[in-house]
Amino acid sequence: MAISQRFHKLLILLHERVHADELKNNLLELIIDLPQRSYYRHDRLEDHLYYLLIGKQYKDKDLMLRLKVICLNTLLKKQLEDHDIVTILAILHMLDYHLTILKDINWFVNDYARLSMNVVDRLVYANQVEVSVKLMKKMKSHFPKSRELKRKLLQVYLTLDQLDELTKLLPKYVIQSDDTKLLFKLREKISSDQWTDVILELIEYYKDQPTKKFILASLYFQEDDYESLIELMHSGVDLDIVMSYDHKLYRIYQNDLTQIYQKVLSDIIDSYLGDRAQVAVRKAIHHMDQLNARKLRKNVMSYLEKEYKHRIQYLM
């Protein structure tokens, strides 16, 4: 049966308030001993006795070293579930942070790589942000290609409003991963001049990436740069890209969208004789119906009926 958080906090509080040396030492021994018991559950970091103790006693190096040895022995001796292991690993990193500023994490990445991001999450959730950031920075040298690690570090920077780090690292992350989820959260936090530098860097990069037009389209769309988005569509894009953004365009760029749909659908029809062409045409027409873009639908259909009069019945 798990020991309650209230009991843990009372033990720590009692240890703080007691002045008699013998009683204080006895309480400390009880606090240190309890997590070593076979019935102790380590699952919640913020309820853990050692976590509560570290926050109050982190200047006591001898105690920190003692707790570290106990935690390492616990990992070796006890039959633990993963969530318990994650908690103890998080405590070990907190101890190492106070003792050595996480000088050596080789043992961690070698033996516990599969749980490493769980440990980071546990530290972040428990507001051990400095420890988690330091740990992630150290982990980057071991897992330089890990997108998950880079994304988590950026998320923490965003939470902490460490905008200089974010502004420097986020464009590189987007280019490496094509993940723009965090990008537009940054826009809300930095100056317009800073944002302009960030977005222009990305746009210039993706202009030279013909296989990643979907990213460039999303950047233009988020920036309300509809002229550039239309120009990109004219250069040749997938049907899905056109359908993703035409709801903002079809009233103003009716003629452009007509030409774009005609070209995109023609390319598909000319390339595929089977069901794929039929599916694409039906999907596009259904999409226009949902938009209530009647004129656009009429113009596109008239074009298809004229250009593919021998196939139009099958295509529809």
Per-residue confidence (pLDDT) for residue 2, from 0 to 100: 59
Q: Which of 41-45, 103-107, 205-209 has the lowest mean pLDDT?
A: 41-45
Token readout for 115 is: 């749980």
- How do the domains of the chain map onto residue ranges? 1-141, 224-316
35 has pLDDT over 60:
yes
Token readout for 54 is: 């570290």
The phi, psi pair for 28, rounded to 5°, reads -60, -40
Per-residue confidence (pLDDT) for residue 1, from 0 to 100: 45
241 has pLDDT over 90:
yes
297 has pLDDT over 50:
yes
How far apart, in whole angstroms, are the C-alpha atoms of residue 81 and residue 41? 10
In three-state form (DSSP H/G/I as H, E/B as E, the rest C), the secondary structure along 186-224 is HHCCCCHHHHHHHHHHHHHHHHCCHHHHHHHHHHHHHCC
Query: What integer is the mean pLDDT of 106-133?
Result: 93
The type of residue at 119 is V
Q: How many CB atoms lie within 10 A of CB 291?
A: 15
- Which residue did the predictor score with more confidence, 72 or 44? 72
248: Cβ contacts below 8 Å, ≥ 6 apart: 221, 226
303 has pLDDT over 50:
yes
Alpha-helical segments (H) within 223-293 = 226-234, 239-245, 254-271, 275-291
pLDDT tier for residue 149 given thresholds of 50, 70 and 90:
very high
pLDDT tier for residue 104 given thresholds of 50, 70 and 90:
very high
Query: What integer is the mean pLDDT of 205-218?
Result: 96
Token readout for 265 is: 């659908």
Q: Which of 10-14, 43-47, 64-68, 183-187 has the lowest mean pLDDT?
A: 43-47
